C-alpha cells in the first residue's frame, strides 16, 4: 500500500530536483512520441537539445536565436510568477503582450521618419503602459466586483487578437505597403528599431530588460517587504490578512507588473525580431511563459534557466522540422508534456511516499 | 446595410446549433465543479474531441462513431488531469492550463493531415408532427439529433443532481470533502467519475463543432469555446437549467453577431467579432456584483486524506 505523507515543510532538495527529472522524463516520453511518428528518437532529441548549440553548421546561426526567443519568455514569466505565487492567476499574458506591441509600435510609427534618441525609450514606456492597462481590466474588475481574473484575462486575449487584426489592416498599416496587411518594418526606421546591441549575439534591448527583470524580481522576493507579502499571501492567506497585507493593492500590483512586463516583451519583439505589426506576429509566448514560470519553480533564477531551455525547444523544434520533417505541433505537445511531468513530480516536494503493508 | 435579410426564424434555429457545443462542455464542467474540482482544461478536451471526432468520421463515414470516440478521447484526456490532481495532488489551476496547452498541441498534430477535408455530417432529424407547426417547428424541431441529446443530458444531469442519492453524494463531496470522507464516501472515486463525465461532454461539444457546426477541421477551431463554457458555469450558478439558458443566450449573441456582419451593419468587424468575449466579461461582472452565488464549498481545494 502506497501512502502519501505531507512534509512539514517543502523539501528543498526535491524542489531543485523535480524540474531536472521532469525534463528527463519529457525527453523519454518525447522520444517515444517521435518514434511513433516514425522518427529516430535519439536523433530527434539530439536535434532539439544539442544541435542548436553545438552543431557545426547550424550552431552559429541558432545560438543567437536562443537569447532572442528566451527574452520574451523570461520577461513574461517573471511577471506571471509574482501573481502565481500570490494566487493571482493572470493567464491572459498573450493579450497584454499584443497590446504592448500595438501601443509601443503605434507610438514609434507616429514619429516616422524622425530621428531622435528619445523615440525608442518612449516606445518601451508605451509598450509597458499598454500591457499594464490591458492587465488592469481584470485587475480592476477583480478588486472592485470580485470577478474571476482567470476568465476575464483570457477573454481579453481574443479581444486583443481582434484589435491586432484591425490595426494591422487599418490604423498602423504601412501606407507604402501597396495594400498588404502589416505595418512599416522597423528595420527601415533606425530610431525605433530594436537592433542587436552586439552583432550576432542575439543580444537586443529586450534581453537586457529580461536580465534586469530577473534581478529585480530576485531582490524583491528575497529582500523587500512587498515580495514577502506576495509570498505570504500565496502560502498563508489568513496569516497575510493578520499581518496587514492589503489584498487589493497586491492584486493590482501583481496583475499590473505582469501586464507591463508582457507589454514590454511584445514591444521589443515587434520592433526587433518580428520587425513589424502583422496579424500573426504573436507566436503564443504569453501561453508558453506559463510553462516557463512553473518550470522555473516561480523563482527568478529558475525562470531564467527555464526560459533558456524553452527557447532551446523552440529553436531545436524548428531545426527538427527542417532536418527530420517533425511536425511543428509535436513541439507544442512536447512543451505541454513537460508541464505535466513537472506538476506530477511536484508531489515529491510536498509529500513523502511511504510504503506500508496494512491498508490505511 | 439590410437588416431585412435577417430571418428571425432561421436566426433562432441556428442559435440552437451555435449554442450546443458550449452547452455540452458547460454541463460537463458544471458537474465537475459540483464535485469540487476546477478543471480549466475544457478548451483542450474540446479541441481534442473535435479532431478525434473528425478523424474517425472521415475514415469511417459514421458521424455517430465519431461522436462516441470524441467523448472517449475527451474522457481519456480528462483522466490525465484526474490522476494528476487527485492522486498526485497537483494544483488544479496549473494542471488545467497544462491540459489546455497539451490538448491544443495534440489536436494540431493529429489534425494536420485532415485539413481541408470534407466530412459526412449528421443528418437532420425532423420530429414527426411537431416539425410541421409553423414558426415553432423549424425553430425547435428540425435539428440534428445531437441538439436533442444535449438537452437530454441537461435534463438527466438536473435529475441526477437534485433527485438521486448519487447526486447528493456528489454535491456533498463538492461542498465539504472532509465531511464526505468521514462519512465513508470515496471522495477521489466520485471526483474521478465527475471529471470523466466532464471530459466526455467536452469531447462531444468539440466534435459538434468539427462535425456539424463548421463542419471541417481547422487548427485551433474551438477559439475559446471551452473558456466561454467555464464562464457560463459561473453565470449559471452551477444549475443545469441555467446552463441551458446561458448557453442559448450566448449562442444567440454569436449568431446575431455573424448575421449583423453579413448584413453589413456599420459597426467595425473587430467589434462584432470580439463581442461574444466582451459580453462574456460583462456577464461575469454582473454575476460577481451580486455577491455570493453558490459556488461549491470545496471548489479547487486539494483533498488529502490523512488517515
pLDDT at residue B42 greater than cutoff 90: yes
Q: Is A107 within a domain?
A: yes
Say if residue A85 is exposed, middle or buried (CB neighbours under 10 Å; 0-12, 13-18, 19+). Answer: buried
Give the residue from B40, B229, B274, B305 with the most A CB atoms within 10 Å of its CB, the best one to mutate. Answer: B274
Q: Is A84 within a domain?
A: yes
Please report which confidence band the pLDDT of residue B46 belongs to, taking 50, 70 and 90 as the band edges. very high
A1-10 pLDDT tens trace: 677 777 777 7
A251-263 pLDDT tens trace: 999 999 999 999 9
Percentage of residues in chain A having pLDDT higher than 70 = 98
CA B192 to chain centre: 18
Give the residue from A34, A140, A158 with the most B CB atoms within 10 Å of its CB, the best one to mutate. Answer: A158
Q: Scan residues 222-261 of B and list those with Cβ closer than 8 Å to A.
A: 223-224, 227-228, 230-231, 234
pLDDT (mean) for B3-31: 83
- If one counts the domains in chain A, the total is 1
Q: Check the CA dihedral A197-A202-A204-A209 and report its sign.
A: negative
**Which of A167-171, B223-227, B262-266 bottoms out in mean pLDDT, i.e. has the lowest?**
B262-266
Please report which confidence band the pLDDT of residue B74 belongs to, taking 50, 70 and 90 as the band edges. very high
pLDDT at residue A358 greater than cutoff 60: no
pLDDT (mean) for A42-54: 83
Angle at A209 between CA A72 and CA A231, to 5 degrees: 80
Q: Does A36 touch chain B (CB under 8 A)?
A: no
Mean pLDDT, chain A, as a whole number?
A: 85
Q: Does A166 touch chain B (CB under 8 A)?
A: yes
Q: Do B284 and A151 touch (CB under 8 A)?
A: yes
Please report which confidence band the pLDDT of residue B78 belongs to, taking 50, 70 and 90 as the band edges. very high
Q: Scan residues 276-295 of A and list those with Cβ closer than 8 Å to B.
A: 287-288, 290-291, 294
pLDDT at residue A189 greater than cutoff 50: yes
Mean pLDDT, chain B, as a whole number?
A: 85
pLDDT at residue A156, rounded to an integer: 93
Q: Is A312 within a domain?
A: no
pLDDT at residue A360, rounded to an integer: 45
Q: Do B102 and A333 touch (CB under 8 A)?
A: yes
CA distances B129 to B17, B34, B138, B151, B157, Å, are 21, 38, 12, 20, 28
Give the residue from B22, B38, B82, B94 with the most A CB atoms within 10 Å of its CB, the best one to mutate. Answer: B94
Q: Is A86 within a domain?
A: yes
Give the structural domain span for A206. Answer: 63-303
Q: Does B9 touch chain A (CB under 8 A)?
A: no
The better pLDDT of the pair B241, A51 is held by B241
Shortest CA distance from B86: residue in chain A: A344
* Distance separating alpha carbons of residues A341 and B111, to the nearest angstrom: 24
Q: Scan residues 109-128 of A and list those with Cβ closer than 8 Å to B.
A: none
Please report which confidence band the pLDDT of residue A70 belongs to, taking 50, 70 and 90 as the band edges. very high
* Distance separating alpha carbons of residues B194 and B36, to the nearest angstrom: 10
Q: Is A264 within a domain?
A: yes
Q: Is A308 within a domain?
A: no
* Distance separating alpha carbons of residues B88 and B193, to the nearest angstrom: 17
ipTM reported for the complex, 2 dp: 0.83
Closest Cβ–Cβ partner in B98, B305, B307 for A336:
B98
pLDDT at residue A7, rounded to an integer: 79
A283-296 pLDDT tens trace: 788 888 988 998 88
Say if residue A155 is exposed, middle or buried (CB neighbours under 10 Å; 0-12, 13-18, 19+). Answer: buried
Q: Is A218 within a domain?
A: yes
Q: Is A346 within a domain?
A: no
Q: What is the dihedral of CA B146, B150, B152, B158, to 10 degrees?
A: 170
Percentage of residues in chain A having pLDDT higher than 90 = 22
pLDDT at residue A188 greater than cutoff 80: no
The better pLDDT of the pair A132, B183 is held by A132
- A18 CA: distance to closest CA in chain B (Å): 13
Place of cell 465539504: B176
pLDDT at residue B159, rounded to an integer: 94
Residues of chain A found within 8 Å of residue B93, distances taken between Cβ atoms: 89, 150
pLDDT at residue B154 greater than cutoff 60: yes
DSSP A152: H
- Domains along the sequence of chain B with CATH: 3-116+136-289 (1.10.3470)
Name the nearest CA neighbour of A330 among A321, A339, A322, A342: A321
Q: Which three cell numbers stand for residue B98?
A: 497544462
Please report which confidence band the pLDDT of residue B26 belongs to, taking 50, 70 and 90 as the band edges. very high
* Distance separating alpha carbons of residues B73 and B26, to the nearest angstrom: 17
Q: What are the start-end ranges of the H helices in chain A?
A: 12-36, 41-49, 51-54, 59-86, 93-110, 119-145, 149-169, 205-223, 225-235, 237-242, 247-271, 285-295, 300-324, 328-350
Q: Which three cell numbers stand for residue B52?
A: 478525434
pLDDT (mean) for B154-180: 89
Amino acid at each position: 500500500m502506497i501512502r502519501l505523507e505531507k512534509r512539514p515543510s517543502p523539501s528543498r532538495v526535491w524542489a531543485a530536483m523535480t524540474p531536472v527529472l521532469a525534463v528527463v522524463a519529457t525527453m523519454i516520453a518525447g522520444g517515444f512520441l517521435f518514434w511513433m511518428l516514425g522518427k529516430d528518437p535519439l536523433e530527434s532529441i539530439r536535434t532539439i537539445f544539442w544541435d542548436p548549440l553545438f552543431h557545426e553548421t547550424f550552431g552559429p546561426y541558432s545560438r543567437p536565436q536562443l537569447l532572442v526567443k528566451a527574452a520574451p519568455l523570461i520577461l513574461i514569466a517573471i511577471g506571471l510568477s509574482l501573481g502565481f505565487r500570490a494566487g493571482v492567476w493572470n493567464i491572459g499574458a498573450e493579450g497584454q503582450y499584443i497590446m504592448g506591441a500595438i501601443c509601443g509600435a503605434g507610438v514609434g510609427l507616429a514619429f516616422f521618419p524622425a530621428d531622435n534618441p528619445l523615440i525608442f525609450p518612449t516606445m518601451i514606456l508605451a509598450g509597458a503602459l499598454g500591457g499594464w492597462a490591458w492587465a488592469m481590466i481584470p485587475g480592476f474588475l477583480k478588486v472592485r466586483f470580485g470577478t474571476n481574473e482567470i476568465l476575464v484575462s483570457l477573454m481579453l486575449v481574443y479581444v486583443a487578437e481582434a484589435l491586432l487584426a484591425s490595426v494591422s489592416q487599418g490604423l498602423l498599416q504601412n501606407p507604402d505597403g501597396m495594400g498588404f496587411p502589416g505595418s512599416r518594418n522597423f528595420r527601415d526606421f533606425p530610431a525605433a528599431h530594436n537592433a542587436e546591441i552586439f552583432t550576432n549575439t542575439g543580444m537586443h534591448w529586450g534581453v537586457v530588460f529580461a536580465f534586469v527583470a530577473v534581478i529585480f524580481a530576485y531582490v524583491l522576493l528575497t529582500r523587500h517587504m512587498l515580495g514577502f507579502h506576495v509570498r505570504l499571501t500565496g502560502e498563508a492567506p489568513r496569516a497575510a490578512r493578520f499581518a496587514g497585507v492589503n489584498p487589493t493593492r497586491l492584486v493590482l500590483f501583481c496583475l499590473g507588473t505582469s501586464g507591463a512586463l508582457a507589454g514590454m516583451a511584445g514591444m521589443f519583439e515587434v520592433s526587433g525580431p518580428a520587425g513589424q505589426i502583422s496579424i500573426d506576429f504573436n507566436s503564443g509566448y504569453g501561453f508558453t511563459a506559463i510553462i516557463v514560470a512553473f518550470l522555473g519553480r516561480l523563482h527568478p533564477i529558475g525562470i531564467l534557466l527555464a526560459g533558456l531551455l524553452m527557447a532551446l525547444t523552440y529553436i531545436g523544434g524548428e531545426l527538427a522540422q527542417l532536418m527530420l520533417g517533425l511536425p511543428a505541433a509535436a513541439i507544442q505537445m512536447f512543451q505541454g508534456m513537460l508541464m505535466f511531468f513537472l506538476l506530477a513530480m511536484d508531489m515529491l516536494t510536498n509529500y513523502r511516499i511511504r510504503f506500508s503493508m496494512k491498508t490505511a | 446595410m439590410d437588416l431585412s435579410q435577417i430571418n428571425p426564424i432561421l436566426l433562432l434555429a441556428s442559435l440552437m446549433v451555435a449554442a450546443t457545443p458550449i452547452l455540452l462542455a458547460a454541463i460537463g464542467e458544471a458537474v465537475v465543479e459540483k464535485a469540487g474540482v476546477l478543471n480549466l482544461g475544457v478548451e483542450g478536451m474540446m479541441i481534442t474531441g473535435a479532431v478525434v471526432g473528425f478523424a474517425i468520421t472521415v475514415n469511417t463515414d459514421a458521424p455517430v462513431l465519431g461522436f462516441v470516440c470524441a467523448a472517449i478521447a475527451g474522457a481519456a484526456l480528462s483522466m490525465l488531469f484526474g490522476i494528476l490532481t487527485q492522486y498526485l495532488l497537483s494544483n488544479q489551476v496549473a494542471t488545467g492550463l497544462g491540459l489546455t496547452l497539451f490538448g491544443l498541441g495534440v489536436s494540431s498534430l493529429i489534425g494536420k493531415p485532415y485539413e481541408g477535408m470534407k466530412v459526412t455530417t449528421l443528418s437532420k432529424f425532423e420530429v414527426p408532427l411537431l416539425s410541421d407547426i409553423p414558426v415553432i417547428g423549424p425553430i425547435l424541431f428540425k435539428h440534428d439529433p445531437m441538439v436533442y441529446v444535449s438537452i437530454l443530458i441537461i435534463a438527466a444531469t438536473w435529475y441526477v443532481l437534485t433527485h438521486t442519492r448519487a447526486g447528493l453524494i456528489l454535491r456533498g463531496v463538492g461542498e465539504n470533502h472532509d465531511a464526505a470522507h468521514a462519512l465513508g464516501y470515496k471522495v477521489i472515486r466520485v471526483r474521478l467519475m465527475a471529471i470523466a463525465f466532464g471530459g466526455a461532454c467536452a469531447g462531444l461539444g468539440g466534435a459538434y463543432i468539427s462535425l456539424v457546426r463548421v463542419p471541417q477541421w481547422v487548427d485551433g477551431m474551438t477559439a475559446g469555446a471551452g473558456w466561454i463554457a467555464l464562464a457560463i458555469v459561473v453565470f449559471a450558478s452551477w444549475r443545469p437549467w441555467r446552463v441551458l439558458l446561458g448557453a442559448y443566450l450566448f449562442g444567440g449573441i454569436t449568431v446575431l453577431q455573424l448575421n449583423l456582419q453579413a448584413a453589413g451593419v456599420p459597426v467595425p468587424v473587430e467589434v462584432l467579432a470580439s463581442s461574444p468575449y466582451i459580453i462574456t466579461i460583462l456577464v461575469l461582472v454582473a454575476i460577481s456584483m451580486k455577491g455570493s452565488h453558490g459556488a461549491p464549498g470545496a471548489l479547487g481545494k486539494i483533498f488529502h486524506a490523512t488517515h
